[in-house]
Amino acid sequence: MTRPDTVRFLRTEPTMAFPEGRLLAMREAQLHVLAPDGWTRLAGTRPTGATTLTRQDAEDWCEREGWDLHLLDQVPTLA
C-alpha cells in the first residue's frame, strides 16, 4: 500500500487585486496556483512572502473566497 501524495498549501501576500492573497499548492516539488479554471502550474519557486497553511486553513480560505472545497483534493500530479 502506498501513502497518498502530500500536498502543502500556501497563501501569497495580499494585493489590491487579491486582498486575501492567492491559494497555492505544492505537490511533488511542483507549485500550482488556484485559478478560475482550476489549478495552474507555475514556473519557478515559491513566491517570497508566501505563508504555509494547514489543510484546515486552506479550507477556510476556500470558504471565505467562495471556492469549492473539492478543489483541494484535485492538485495535479507529475504523472
**pLDDT class of 17 with cuts at 50, 70, 90:** very high
C-alpha 66/C-alpha 75 separation (Å) is 18
Count up the domains in the chain and report the number. 1
pLDDT digit string (tens) for 27-50? 998 999 999 999 999 998 888 999
Compute φ and ψ for 37, nearest 5 degrees.
-100, 15
In a domain, 37, yes or no: yes
In a domain, 30, yes or no: yes
As a whole-number percent, the residues of the chain with pLDDT over 90 amount to 78
This prediction's pTM: 0.88
CB-facing half-sphere around the CA of 4: CA atoms within 13 A:
7
pLDDT digit string (tens) for 56-69? 999 999 999 999 99
* pLDDT number for residue 4: 58
Checking 51-55 for CB contacts under 8 A at 24+ apart, the result is 51/10, 51/11, 52/8, 52/9, 52/10, 53/9, 53/10, 53/11, 53/23, 54/9, 55/9
Domain that holds residue 59: 9-73
